């Protein structure tokens, strides 16, 4: 058991960052009071919201981050409610219903909101970012956002065979929903001004191929912006830039990114700059308040919005509270699934310029394959499609800084594990 | 990779593979038809050469742990990188939250014998 001087911790937010924080605290011997505040019925995993949960293949219970009895067994009080105010000096969080929680350390894991695109809209009754868990539907007019299970429920209700869906934004969420909706028999138009989208994350070659899958599976892709969205009695009318006439859809999904939920932190006087600013230990500008996950940004770093980054934030925050060293950092990693393909990305996918070189293992576009980015003889990033061992090897190559030859990586007969071994 | 043979379960276990059939750090899946268990069983070989057995399906989502990455005392799921302890089946890393089942394995004369349902 760890002898921590911190007697009590309140974690505000039941997403993966919040649950990781409490999980890591208990796993590493924290014996003090532990409270998890969540706006949702219980903490659940968000990646399935655009895939298995959206399609109906999984229900909410099956995507719970921990079984309900786990929290009781770990002596974690799970409280459902909305945090309304934070007082760092007093160590209190006040809920929207007036209840107050107090603790020696408060961990903000408030996540974020879907970003509203800059589209002219005439939407009767559409509420601007009502809080998740408030019971206020965000999709009453055929215009949908996707962040919570409640959002996914609203979207799923309209994804009937033949339904016309406009997806604005071809990033990870937009692409996954397009794939899910096509599987459900919807007609989908996917609009994004980038060509190809997500090139910065996976490199232009893979991005182009991934984007081409939409058309291959019957979705229409349009490289443009959406100028106007209007909810009418006949459906949602959208004007796509460059098109002569507006088109009518049964539903529109706005999936153009997210903004960190920092309002409470800002009102409490914490430093906020595209996220609650934290140091390398997840500590905010007030020493008793920490922040993790999508709502936080480590000073000197870009704000990460991925699942595993939130897990690592939780582990770092727990280590800080326990007064022990944080786990070793690893290369950033995320996954996405579309059209029954599993795509994993690790490290940074720099374009081949200057010292960077890209190497394809296998044949690009014929899964399984992996594209590695090297700087000199060091792997700095990899994108793998249905090639899990290659991406796991790549991650270790990045973490360990081993030297490899491009020709060896490119040869599918090369045992990547052997490459790692020989480089030790 | 899947196993090619079995000789029925008794006190000597089920012969499921030759050790040399399993590259170090990798695994093979043994069909539940052979093991008589509800799930297929993954035989996983550590880099030190020892063999271990876990229920094959990750408790998070349907993925074969035999296709995972074995390192140290863990196997990492090929889909979302949940990790499980080879000796105990305990989950060592999210997103999986439920343990899996570990089974006893013996290696005799270069052959791997599996004892389904017996703890290591």
Query: Could you give the CA distance from residue B46 to residue A417 in angstroms, rounded to a whole number?
Result: 12
- The answer, yes or no, to whether residue B96 has pLDDT greater than 80, is yes
Domain A116-256 -> CATH class: alpha beta
pLDDT at B11: 66
Query: Could you give the CA distance from residue A388 to residue B82 in angstroms, rounded to a whole number?
Result: 13
pLDDT at A76: 98
Q: Contact, A88 vs A271, CB < 8 A?
A: no
Interface test with B, best of A57, A67, A389, A420 (most B CBs within 10 A): A389
Q: Where are the domains of chain B?
A: 15-115
> A-chain residues within 8 Å CB-CB of B66?
none
The number of residues in chain A equals: 424
B residues 9..38 contacting A (CB < 8 A): 23-26
Q: Which of B68, B80, B94 sits opposite A335 (nearest CB)?
A: B80
A116-256 matches A8-113+259-322 in CATH topology: yes
Q: Contact, A333 vs B81, CB < 8 A?
A: yes
Q: Contact, B28 vs B3, CB < 8 A?
A: yes
Burial of B32 (0-12, 13-18, 19+ CB in 10 A): middle
pLDDT at A359: 95
pLDDT at A165: 98
Burial of A352 (0-12, 13-18, 19+ CB in 10 A): middle
Tell me, yes or no, if the pTM score tops 0.90.
Answer: yes
> B-chain residues within 8 Å CB-CB of A417?
23-26
| Other CB atoms within 10 Å distance of the CB of residue A331 | 18
Domain covering A8-113+259-322 in this structure, CATH number: 3.50.50.60
Average pLDDT, consecutive stretches of 10 residues, N- to C-terminus, chain A (424 residues) = 80 97 96 96 96 96 93 97 97 97 98 81 46 47 88 94 97 98 98 96 95 98 93 89 97 92 96 97 98 97 93 97 93 96 92 81 97 94 96 96 94 91 75
pLDDT at A5: 83
Structure tokens at A32: 């003090």
- The answer to whether residue B98 neighbours chain A at the CB level (below 8 Å) is yes
Domain covering A340-420 in this structure, CATH number: 3.30.390.30
Q: Give the residue on A whose Cα is nearest the Cα of B82.
A: A308
Query: Could you give the CA distance from residue A9 to residue A270 in angstroms, rounded to a whole number?
Result: 18
pLDDT at B94: 83
Question: Would you call the peptide bond into A408 cis, given omega within 30 degrees of 0 as the criterion?
Answer: no
> A-chain residues within 8 Å CB-CB of B69?
388-389, 392-393
Q: Strands A235-240, A247-249: parallel, antiparallel or unpaired by DSSP?
A: antiparallel
In sequence order, which residues have a C-beta less than 8 Å from that of residue A67 and are 6 or more positions away?
Answer: B97, B98
Question: Would you call the peptide bond into A368 cis, given omega within 30 degrees of 0 as the criterion?
Answer: yes
Sheet strand arrangement including A366-375: A333-338, A341-347, A378-385, A366-375, A356-363
Q: Which tops the pLDDT comparison, A355 or B35?
A: B35
3 state SS for A33-92: EEEEEECCCCCECCHHHHCHHHHCCCCCHHHECCCHHHHHHCCCEEEECCEEEEECCCCE
Domain B15-115 -> CATH class: mainly beta
CA distances to A229, A327, A331, A374, A406 from A397, in Å: 47, 18, 10, 11, 13
pLDDT at A330: 92
Q: What percent of chain B has pLDDT over 90?
A: 82
Question: Between chains, do A392 and B69 touch, taking CB under 8 Å as contact?
Answer: yes
> A-chain residues within 8 Å CB-CB of B95?
16, 45, 65, 307
Query: Could you give the CA distance from residue B65 to residue B26 in angstroms, rounded to a whole number?
Result: 9
Question: Between chains, do B79 and A388 touch, taking CB under 8 Å as contact?
Answer: yes
Q: Contact, A256 vs A75, CB < 8 A?
A: no
Interface test with B, best of A388, A413, A418, A419 (most B CBs within 10 A): A388
pLDDT at A326: 93
* pLDDT classification of B8: cutoffs 50, 70, 90: very low
Question: Between chains, do B79 and A342 touch, taking CB under 8 Å as contact?
Answer: yes
> B-chain residues within 8 Å CB-CB of A66?
97
pLDDT at B101: 97
Angstroms from B8 CA to nearest CA on chain A:
32
**Complex ipTM, two decimals?**
0.87
Angstroms from B55 CA to nearest CA on chain A:
19
Question: Between chains, do B94 and A311 touch, taking CB under 8 Å as contact?
Answer: yes
pLDDT at B3: 43
DSSP string over A333-347: EEEEEETTEEEEEEE
Question: Between chains, do B97 and A70 touch, taking CB under 8 Å as contact?
Answer: yes
Structure tokens at A133: 């868990």
- The answer to whether residue B78 neighbours chain A at the CB level (below 8 Å) is yes
Q: Where are the domains of chain A?
A: 8-113+259-322, 116-256, 340-420
Query: Could you give the CA distance from residue B96 to residue A76 in angstroms, rounded to a whole number?
Result: 19
């Amino acid at each position: 058991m760890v002898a921590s001087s911190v007697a009590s911790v309140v974690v505000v937010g039941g997403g993966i960052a919040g649950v990781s924080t409490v999980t890591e605290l208990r796993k590493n011997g924290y014996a003090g009071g532990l409270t998890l505040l969540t706006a949702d019925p219980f903490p659940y995993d968000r990646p399935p919201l655009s895939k298995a949960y959206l399609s109906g293949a999984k229900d909410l219970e099956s995507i719970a981050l921990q079984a309900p009895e786990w929290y009781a067994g770990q002596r974690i009080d799970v409280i459902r409610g909305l945090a309304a105010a934070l007082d760092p000096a007093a160590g209190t969080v006040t809920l929207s219903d007036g209840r107050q929680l107090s603790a020696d350390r408060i961990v903000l894991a408030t996540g974020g909101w879907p970003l509203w695109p800059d589209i002219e809209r005439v939407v009767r009754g559409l509420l601007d970012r009502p809080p998740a868990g408030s019971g206020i539907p965000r999709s009453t007019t055929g215009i949908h956002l996707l962040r919570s299970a409640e959002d996914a429920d609203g979207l799923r209700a309209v994804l009937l065979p033949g339904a016309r869906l406009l997806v604005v934004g071809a990033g990870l969420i937009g692409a996954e929903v397009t794939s899910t909706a096509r599987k459900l028999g919807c007609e989908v138009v996917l609009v994004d001004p980038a060509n190809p989208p997500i090139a910065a994350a996976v490199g232009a070659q893979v991005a182009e191929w991934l984007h081409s899958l939409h058309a291959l599976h019957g979705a229409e892709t349009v490289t443009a912006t959406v100028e106007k969205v209007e909810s009418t009695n006949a459906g949602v009318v959208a004007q796509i830039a460059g098109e002569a006439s507006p088109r009518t859809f049964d539903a529109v999904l706005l999936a153009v990114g997210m903004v960190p939920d920092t309002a409470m932190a800002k009102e409490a006087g914490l430093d906020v700059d595209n996220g609650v600013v934290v140091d390398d230990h997840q500590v905010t500008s007030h020493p008793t308040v920490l922040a993790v996950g999508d709502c936080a940004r480590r000073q000197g770093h870009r704000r990460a919005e991925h699942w595993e980054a939130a897990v690592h934030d939780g582990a770092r925050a727990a280590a800080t509270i326990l007064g022990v060293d944080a786990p070793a950092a690893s290369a950033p990693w995320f996954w996405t699934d579309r059209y029954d393909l599993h795509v994993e990305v690790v490290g940074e996918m720099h374009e081949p310029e200057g010292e960077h070189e890209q190497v394809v293992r296998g044949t690009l576009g014929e899964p399984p394959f992996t594209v590695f980015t090297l700087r000199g003889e060091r792997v700095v990033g990899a994108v793998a499609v249905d090639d899990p061992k290659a991406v796991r090897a790549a991650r270790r190559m990045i973490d360990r800084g081993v030297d490899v030859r491009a020709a060896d990586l490119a040869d599918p007969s090369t045992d990547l594990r052997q490459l790692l071994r020989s480089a030790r | 990779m899947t196993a090619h043979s079995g000789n029925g379960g008794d006190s000597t276990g089920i012969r499921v593979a030759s050790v040399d059939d399993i590259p170090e750090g990798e695994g093979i899946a043994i069909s539940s038809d052979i093991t008589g268990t509800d799930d297929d069983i993954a035989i996983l070989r550590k880099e030190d050469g020892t063999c271990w057995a876990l229920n094959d399906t990750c408790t998070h989502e349907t993925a074969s742990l035999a296709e995972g990455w074995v390192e140290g005392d863990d196997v990492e799921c090929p889909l979302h990188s949940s990790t499980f302890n080879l000796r105990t089946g305990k989950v060592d890393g999210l997103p999986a939250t439920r343990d899996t089942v570990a089974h006893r394995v013996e290696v005799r004369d270069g052959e791997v014998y599996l004892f389904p349902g017996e703890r290591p």
